[in-house]
Structure 1
Amino acid sequence: MQSKWTSNFLYVIAGSFLFGMAVNIFVVPMHVYNGGIIGIAQIIRTLLTEIFHLEFNFDIAGIINFLLNIPLFLIAYKSISKKFFVLTLLSIIVQTITFSIVPIPETAILKDPLTSMIIAGLIGGYGTGLCLKAGGSGAGADILGVFFAMRSKTFTVGRLSIVINALVYTYCAFAFSFSNAIYSIIYAVVFALAMDKIHTQNIIVKAMVITKHQEVKQKVLTELGRGVTSWQGMGVYTNEETDVFITILSKYEVSMLKQCVLALDPNAFIILSEGNEIVGNYEKRF
């Protein structure tokens, strides 16, 4: 249990650092806005520096982002879980430090804004996906995304991210630059797609297991807590009866399924398929 917490902490720290680094190195130099709560923090930072002429020795967007997240932390603590709250709080602390200490290049590292947005989206989405995979989030819209995903079988964190970002970028298009808003949208879409791919709790997997051990399906039922449907099969080559069963689980749980099955039957046959549409009493777990 202790090693699991340690790995989760490391995932969150690494993921939050990757996200913050991607924003400071690739997004901010292009005058592109991140979207979500951080995008709102960047807009406030811009208003403070350009309209009110306030000067800061570091990027204050990280601190503004932290303050804006305080109400969302209450949702994480009361409505999701204490573990989610702790890991999300760690994530936002690491993000705030990263935004403040990672220097923003005076000139963009990559001259092509499209390439910069794709790379930033991949790195930032991967980092946030690591936080979600560990059982936390990147805070902000991710907290609301997990909150709604727990209540809807078709909802994903990435989809909410796209909706909120669209609102932020619409404002940016009229207030700042239309072309930068377009690049921001490209960044947001790549970010959301990368995040949902890493967020394995969000990916539904159908598993079919063929085994000669009757105890396997009961072990899967008790240890994973997933429903199992079984029937008797026949091996055509061996002409021997086999036990066949299917279960629906998240991609995050696949490694646990393999351990359960192969511990009792190393010769079991496991067939996995992703992208299934599930209608019925399937429980999303975060």
Structure 2
Amino acid sequence: MQQNFHRESVNYFWITIGSLLFCAGLNLFIVPVGLYNGGTVGISQIIRTLLQSRLALPAGFDIAGILNLILNIPLLALAFLQFGRPLFLKTVYSVLTQTAFFSLIAIPSVPILSDRLTACIIGGLLAGAGVGLTLRAGGSGGGNDIIGLYMAKKYESFSVGRMTLIINGIIYLICAMLFELPTALYSIIYSAVCALVTDHVHLQNINMNVQIFTKDPELYHVILQKLGRGVTYWKAVGGYTETDTYVIITIISKYEIAPLRQMLLEKDPHAFVIMSEGPEIFGNFEKRL
């Protein structure tokens, strides 16, 4: 019980850090140069900009976080009904911490980085790392994630990534129509950097159990040398062919699948491989960022 409490406390700590990095990336680098995020945060930013032209809002104070919270209320209800309590609680916490940080982190009156491309890269690195840490801790920023999970559950042809692309495509089309084309294009560049960093941080934490069946007795050396992962292997006999084969078992991160696949194609293109995602790992396994 105490161990579970400690683990969950650590998860909530990383969700807090993730929310801080995400909001810092946006408020310090993206918003000052007039660019926009995707998802409900992006919708909130567009509404904020339209309201600023009609209302006298305090300088440096961003209401996008509050608007994002309002937009997420019906989505949080959907998450509670469809996905259960653990994801719901962490998503609520993530949205609340984002709301707080969006309000607390003042937007610079003069951009820290005036060059939009540089701001896209730095802001994308910070925001992507924040989203990745939140996902690693089992949380979610709400918005696109909830809609995507719901659609993927209801319709087999849908995925979270596809839903995100659709929603973000609509948002950036609106940006191009309401503001100017460069605003939409630079916002897309920022989102691409953010997505790449998110995947790198998040996928590194997804463990893959890999079983390789090969005729090459030296194949395990390649995994040891090039990936630096430990392996267990033994000699077996094929039930159908009754010929000798070697079975290799290793645990890698999801991010290492591509280099492993390339190694196998070069060393033994006829190897038979089984991969399963998300095994619980205890003991001597190196997690890499």
Q: Same fold (TM over 0.5)?
A: yes
TM-score w.r.t. the length of structure 2 is: 0.71
For 2:39 and 2:131, locate their aligned partners in 1 and report how far apart those are by CA, in whole Å: 13
- 1:208-230 CA-to-partner distances (Å, cap 9, x unmatched) read 279xxxxxxxxxxxxxxxxxxx9
Which one-letter code corresponds to 1:53 in the other structure? L
Residue matched to 2:49: 46
Residue matched to 1:59: 62
Does residue 78 (structure 1) correspond to residue 81 (structure 2)? The answer is: yes
Which one-letter code corresponds to 1:113 in the other structure? R
Residue matched to 1:248: 275
Residue matched to 2:221: none
For 1:25 and 1:86, locate their aligned partners in 2 and report how far apart those are by CA, in whole Å: 28
Residue matched to 1:29: 32
How far residue 83 of structure 1 moved from its aligned partner, in angstroms, is: 0.7
Which one-letter code corresponds to 1:193 in the other structure? L
SS of the counterpart of 1:233? strand
For 1:81 and 1:145, locate their aligned partners in 2 and report how far apart those are by CA, in whole Å: 16
- Contact residue 27 and residue 33 of structure 1 kept, 8 A: yes
For 1:11 and 1:155, locate their aligned partners in 2 and report how far apart those are by CA, in whole Å: 29
For 1:145 and 1:199, locate their aligned partners in 2 and report how far apart those are by CA, in whole Å: 17
- 1:107-131 CA-to-partner distances (Å, cap 9, x unmatched) read 1111221111122112111211211
* Match 2:107 to one of 101, 104, 109: 104
Which one-letter code corresponds to 2:29 in the other structure? F
* Match 1:14 to one of 14, 17, 23: 17
Does residue 189 (structure 1) correspond to residue 195 (structure 2)? The answer is: no
- 1:246-270 CA-to-partner distances (Å, cap 9, x unmatched) read 75333x53xx3464xx79xxxxxxx
Does residue 160 (structure 1) correspond to residue 163 (structure 2)? The answer is: yes
| Structure 1 unpaired stretches of 5+ | 211-229, 235-240, 264-286
TM-score w.r.t. the length of structure 1 is: 0.71
Residue matched to 2:98: 95
For 2:190 and 2:108, locate their aligned partners in 1 and report how far apart those are by CA, in whole Å: 19
Which one-letter code corresponds to 2:112 in the other structure? I
Q: Percent identity?
A: 40
For 2:154 and 2:133, locate their aligned partners in 1 and report how far apart those are by CA, in whole Å: 22
* Match 2:131 to one of 128, 132, 135: 128
How far residue 158 of structure 1 moved from its aligned partner, in angstroms, is: 4.4
How far residue 144 of structure 1 moved from its aligned partner, in angstroms, is: 2.1
How far residue 181 of structure 1 moved from its aligned partner, in angstroms, is: 0.8
- Contact residue 233 and residue 242 of structure 1 kept, 8 A: yes
Which one-letter code corresponds to 1:248 in the other structure? M
Deviates more, 1:64-73 or 1:160-169: 160-169
> Would you say how many aligned residue pairs link Structure 1 and Structure 2?
233
For 2:152 and 2:209, locate their aligned partners in 1 and report how far apart those are by CA, in whole Å: 19
> CA distance change for structure 1 residues 10 and 33 in 2, over 3 Å: closer, same or farther?
same
Which one-letter code corresponds to 1:172 in the other structure? C
SS of the counterpart of 1:249? strand
* Match 1:141 to one of 110, 131, 144: 144
How far residue 204 of structure 1 moved from its aligned partner, in angstroms, is: 7.7
- Contact residue 121 and residue 188 of structure 1 kept, 8 A: yes
For 2:19 and 2:84, locate their aligned partners in 1 and report how far apart those are by CA, in whole Å: 20
SS of the counterpart of 1:199? helix
For 1:197 and 1:158, locate their aligned partners in 2 and report how far apart those are by CA, in whole Å: 15
For 1:35 and 1:130, locate their aligned partners in 2 and report how far apart those are by CA, in whole Å: 18
For 1:109 and 1:154, locate their aligned partners in 2 and report how far apart those are by CA, in whole Å: 43
> CA distance change for structure 1 residues 27 and 141 in 2, over 3 Å: closer, same or farther?
same
Deviates more, 1:148-157 or 1:33-42: 148-157
For 2:184 and 2:106, locate their aligned partners in 1 and report how far apart those are by CA, in whole Å: 23
Residue matched to 1:200: 203
